[in-house]
Chain A
Amino acid sequence: MTLSRRDFLKLSALVTASAALSSCAPVYRRLAGDLPAVPWTALPAADFLALNRLTFGPRVEERARFTEIGLQAWIEEQLDFESINDFDCDLQLVPFKTLKKAANELEGISNQLFDGYDRESIPNELRQATLMRQIYSKRQLYEIMVEFWSDHFNIFIEKGNGFYLKTVDDREVIRKHALGSFRDLVWASSHSPAMMIYLDNQANEKSHPNENYARELMELHTLGVNGGYTQKDVMELARCLTGWNVKEHFWLGDFVFKDDLHDTGEKNVLGLSIQSSGQAEAEQVIEMLVAHPSTAKFISTKLARRFIADDPPQALIEKAAQTFINTKGDIKSVLRVILFEGLALAQPKYKRPANFVLSSLRMLNAETDAVAINEHLLRMGQLYFNWPTPDGYPDYSAAWQGNLMPRWQFAFALIRNELKSTKHDLNSLLDVSSTGILQDDVDSLTSLLLGAPIERSARDGLIDTVRAAGATDEETLQIIAASVIASPAFQWR
Chain B
Amino acid sequence: MLTQTLPTWLPRLSFAPVNTAPRGDTLVVVFLRGAADVLNMVVPHGEDAYYQLRPSLGIARPDDSSAKKEDRAVDLDGFFGFHPTMRPLIEAWQSEQLAIIHACGAPDESRSHFKAMELMERGVDDERGPASGWIGRHLATLNTGNSSPLRAVGMGTRPQRSLSGSVPASALRSIADFHLGGDPRALQQMRAALNTVYQDDALGQDTLSIMDTLQKLDPANYQSPNYPDTEFGMALKQTAMLIKAEVGLEVSAIDLGGWDTHFAQGSANGLMPNLMKDLAEGLAAFHADMADHMNQLTTVTMSEFGRRASENGSLGTDHGHGSMMMVIGGNVNGGKVYGQWPGMADDQLIGPGDLAVTTDYRDVLSEILTKRLNNPAVNEIFPDYQPIIPNVIV
A interface residues with partner B (beta carbon < 8 Å): 45, 199-200, 203-205, 207-212, 215, 219-220, 225, 231, 234-235, 347-348, 379-381, 388-389, 391, 394, 398-406, 408-409, 412-413, 416, 450, 454-455, 458, 461-462, 465-466, 468-471, 475-476, 479-480, 482-484, 486-490, 492
Contacts and interface: CB of A to CB of B under 8 A. Distances in A.
11 contacts: A199-B262, A203-B316, A208-B313, A211-B262, A225-B115, A347-B7, A348-B7, A388-B257, A388-B258, A408-B194, A488-B6
A400 B158 contact: yes
Interface in B308-344: 311-314, 316, 318-319
Nearest to B169: A402
Contact of A412 (B2, B181, B195, B210): B181
Contact of B198 (A454, A468, A487): A487
A468 B192 CA distance: 9
B14 interface: no
- Which 7 pairs across A and B sit closest by C-beta, in order of nearness? A208-B313, A381-B157, A203-B314, A483-B193, A403-B171, A487-B2, A487-B197
Contacts of B156: 381
B180 A409 contact: yes
Contacts of B211: 405
Chain B CB within 10 A, most for which of A200, A402, A403: A402
A199 B5 CA distance: 41
Given A225-B110, A479-B190, A210 B262 contact: yes
Given A210-B318, A454-B1, A484-B197, 11 more contacts: A203-B264, A208-B311, A210-B313, A231-B109, A405-B177, A412-B180, A462-B196, A465-B195, A465-B196, A469-B192, A482-B190
Nearest to A389: B113
Given A211-B262, A389-B34, A483 B197 contact: yes
Contacts of B157: 379-381, 403, 406
Contacts of A412: 180-182, 186, 190
A68 B4 CA distance: 27
Contacts of B207: 404-405, 408
B193 A462 contact: yes
B295 interface: no
B289 interface: no
B314 A200 contact: yes
Given A381-B158, A461-B196, A470 B2 contact: no
B164 to A, nearest CB: 6
B197 A225 contact: no
B79 interface: no
A231 B352 contact: yes
Interface string B25-36: 000000001100
Interface in B166-215: 168-171, 173, 177-178, 180-182, 185-186, 188-198, 201, 203-204, 207, 210-211
B262 A225 contact: no
Interface of B: 1-7, 33-34, 109-115, 154, 156-159, 161, 163-164, 168-171, 173, 177-178, 180-182, 185-186, 188-198, 201, 203-204, 207, 210-211, 257-258, 260, 262-264, 311-314, 316, 318-319, 351-352
A450 B1 CA distance: 13
Contact of A402 (B168, B191, B314): B168
A402 B189 contact: no
B180 A408 contact: yes
Given A469-B192, A470-B189, A475-B189, A208 B197 contact: no
Contacts of A475: 186, 189
Most buried by A among B111, B195, B210: B111
Contacts of A461: 1, 196
Contacts of B195: 465
A488 B189 contact: no
Contacts of B168: 402
Contact of A489 (B3, B33, B161, B313): B3
Contacts of B7: 347-348, 492
Contact of A416 (B164, B186, B316): B186
A471 B6 contact: no
Contacts of A401: 159, 203
Nearest to A402: B159
A481 to B, nearest CB: 10
A13 to B, nearest CB: 40
A388 B177 CA distance: 24
A462 B2 CA distance: 10
Contacts of B113: 389, 391
A480 B193 CA distance: 7
B47 to A, nearest CB: 21
A65 B177 CA distance: 41
Contacts of B164: 398
A216 B336 CA distance: 37
Given A470-B188, A482-B190, A487-B2, A403 B159 contact: yes
A409 B189 contact: no
Contacts of B33: 389
Given A210-B313, A461-B196, A466 B189 contact: yes
Nearest to A491: B6
B201 to A, nearest CB: 5
Contact of B314 (A208, A225, A388): A208
Nearest to B354: A231
A406 B115 CA distance: 29
Contacts of A231: 109, 111, 351-352
A209 B192 contact: no
Contacts of B1: 454, 458, 461-462
Nearest to A204: B314
Nearest to A347: B7
A209 B353 CA distance: 14
Contacts of A466: 189, 192-193
Contacts of B194: 408, 483, 486
B190 A210 contact: no
A398 to B, nearest CB: 6
B3 A488 contact: yes
Nearest to B111: A231
Nearest to A261: B313
A476 to B, nearest CB: 8
Nearest to B197: A487
B342 to A, nearest CB: 18
B257 A479 contact: no
Contacts of A482: 190, 193
Q: Which of B192, B193, B207 has the most CB of A within 10 A?
A: B193
Contacts of A406: 157, 173
A314 to B, nearest CB: 14
A210 B308 CA distance: 11
Contacts of A489: 2-6
A465 B190 CA distance: 10
Contacts of B180: 408-409, 412
A379 B171 contact: no
Contacts of B193: 462, 465-466, 469, 479-480, 482-483
A389 B194 CA distance: 35
Contacts of B109: 231
B56 to A, nearest CB: 11
A427 to B, nearest CB: 17
Nearest to B159: A402
A263 to B, nearest CB: 11
B352 A235 contact: yes
B44 to A, nearest CB: 22
B189 A200 contact: no
Contacts of B190: 408, 412, 479, 482-483
